[in-house]
């Protein structure tokens, strides 16, 4: 579930909490969740101090003072939840900011990082996510980072850059291209559907059939929905929570996603759900016509 806005929300939370803290211990459930632990953990992680928490596409990068970094992908159901000794006082029962998840670790907990008086839990129900320890200087050489496209929210990412990237795949459907991380970084199913609705583009439209004006609308639509979602703490359908265990509220503002059978907020026609590029896809068949 976590797409760019959710991962960015987690990054901001971790960035407020982790820098300056030293890793005291690490435990993990399976090699799958932490492929190069524990041998490397003992040697490279314990005693390391967190310097910064960054994000590239949907991947979190926790930079340590040892020239190593932890890189973390939440995939569909990953969570990173931070609990300090003070959290019971700050987020106890009745507190509006209290965590929505219970005692940790729970049965979805895969990796635990212990800091002084605090723990960071990596939970992942479906076990698609992972944590890796890599030399910081090697990160740009990792296959995923070499291939991944530009950050759509970067200040220097202009409409023309967006159009040029998208047009590299003229014969694909626009939905498939938006989801392709090598074209644009960080777009997932929710923000693909929402941005296509905003730009009034049918998700099955071939890229070559979309006018320049519509592509410009899509550029702005994509950025608008992502900026709004970050402001709302991301989308929580089921699993996603921030570092304090709180859900995001963006889906309250969604126009089509998970709204099949309801009225389109723009024209009142019924929103439908179809399958495009192998993914559940939500659209208004009246506002979003196939030929631009």
Q: Is 229 in the site for DNA (CB under 7 A)?
A: no
Examine the residue annotation and report whether 279 is marked as an active-site residue of this protein.
yes
Examine the residue annotation and report whether 2 is marked as an active-site residue of this protein.
yes
| Angstrom distance (rounded) from CA 91 to CA 99 | 7
| Angstrom distance (rounded) from CA 155 to CA 78 | 28
Q: Which of 26, 131, 190, 283 is in the footprint of DNA by CB under 7 A?
A: 190
Q: Is 96 in the site for DNA (CB under 7 A)?
A: no
Q: Which residue has the tokens 């070559």?
A: 208
First to last CA, the chain: 30
**Closest to 180 measured CA to CA, from 202, 156, 155, 152:** 152
Which of 2, 5, 152, 203 is catalytic? The answer is 2
Examine the residue annotation and report whether 3 is marked as an active-site residue of this protein.
yes
Q: How many residues bind DNA (CB under 7 A)?
A: 40
Q: Which of 9, 79, 123, 189 is in the footprint of DNA by CB under 7 A?
A: 189
Please say which residue, 50 or 179, places its beta carbon nearer to DNA.
179
Please say which residue, 23 or 190, places its beta carbon nearer to DNA.
190
Please say which residue, 115 or 130, places its beta carbon nearer to DNA.
130
Q: Is 109 in the site for DNA (CB under 7 A)?
A: no
Tokens encoding 159: 């409409």
Which of 11, 21, 55, 58 is catalytic? The answer is 58
CA 98 to chain centre: 22
| 4-17 vs 212-231: helix crossing angle, rounded to 10 | 40
- Judge contact between 76 and 6, C-beta under 8 A: no
Going edge to edge, which strands form the sheet with 78-84?
Answer: 25-28, 109-115, 118-124, 78-84
Please state the closest distance from residue 144 (CB atom) to DNA, in A. 4
Q: Is 136 in the site for DNA (CB under 7 A)?
A: no
Tokens encoding 233: 């703490």
Q: Phi/psi zone of residue 202: left (φ > 0), alpha (ψ -120 to 50 degrees), beta?
A: beta
Q: Which of 176, 184, 210, 256 is in the footprint of DNA by CB under 7 A?
A: 176
Examine the residue annotation and report whether 19 is marked as an active-site residue of this protein.
no
Between residue 207 and residue 226, which ones bind DNA under the rule CB under 7 A? none
The residue range among 9-17, 38-46, 184-192, 209-217 that interacts with DNA, by the rule CB under 7 A, is 184-192
**Closest to 157 measured CA to CA, from 91, 242, 226:** 226
Question: Residue 73 pairs with which residues in a beta bridge?
Answer: 59, 130
Q: Is 76 in the site for DNA (CB under 7 A)?
A: yes
| Angstrom distance (rounded) from CA 192 to CA 198 | 10
Please state the closest distance from residue 32 (CB atom) to DNA, in A. 6
Binding site for DNA (CB under 7 A): 1-3, 6, 32, 57-59, 73, 75-76, 107-108, 125-128, 143-144, 169-173, 176, 179, 181, 188-190, 235-240, 277-280
Catalytic positions, please? 2-3, 58, 279
């Amino acid at each position: 579930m976590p797409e760019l806005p959710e991962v960015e929300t987690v990054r901001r939370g971790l960035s407020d909490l982790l820098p300056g803290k030293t890793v005291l211990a690490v435990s993990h459930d399976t090699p799958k969740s932490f492929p190069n632990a524990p041998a490397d953990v003992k040697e490279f992680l314990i005693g390391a101090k967190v310097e910064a928490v960054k994000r590239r596409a949907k991947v979190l990068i926790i930079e340590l003072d040892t020239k190593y970094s932890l890189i973390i992908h939440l995939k569909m159901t990953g969570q990173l939840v931070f609990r300090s000794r003070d959290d019971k006082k700050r987020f106890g029962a009745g507190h509006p900011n209290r965590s929505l998840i219970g005692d940790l670790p729970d049965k979805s907990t895969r990796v635990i990082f212990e800091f002084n008086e605090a723990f960071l839990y990596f939970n992942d129900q479906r076990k698609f996510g992972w944590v890796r320890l890599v030399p910081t200087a090697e990160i740009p050489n990792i296959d995923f980072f070499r291939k991944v496209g530009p950050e759509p929210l970067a200040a220097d990412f202009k409409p023309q850059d967006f159009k040029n990237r998208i047009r590299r795949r003229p014969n694909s459907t626009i939905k498939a291209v938006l989801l392709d991380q090598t074209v644009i970084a960080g777009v997932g199913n929710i923000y693909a559907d929402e941005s296509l609705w905003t730009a009034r583009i049918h998700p099955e439209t071939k890229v070559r059939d979309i006018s320049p004006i519509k592509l410009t609308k899509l550029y702005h639509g994509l950025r608008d929905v992502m900026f709004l979602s970050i402001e709302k703490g991301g989308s929580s359908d089921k699993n996603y929570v921030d570092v304090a265990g709180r859900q995001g509220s963006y889906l309250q503002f969604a126009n089509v996603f998970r709204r099949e059978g309801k009225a389109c907020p723009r024209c009142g026609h019924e929103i439908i759900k179809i399958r495009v590029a192998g993914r559940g896809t939500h659209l208004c068949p009246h506002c979003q016509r196939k030929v631009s």
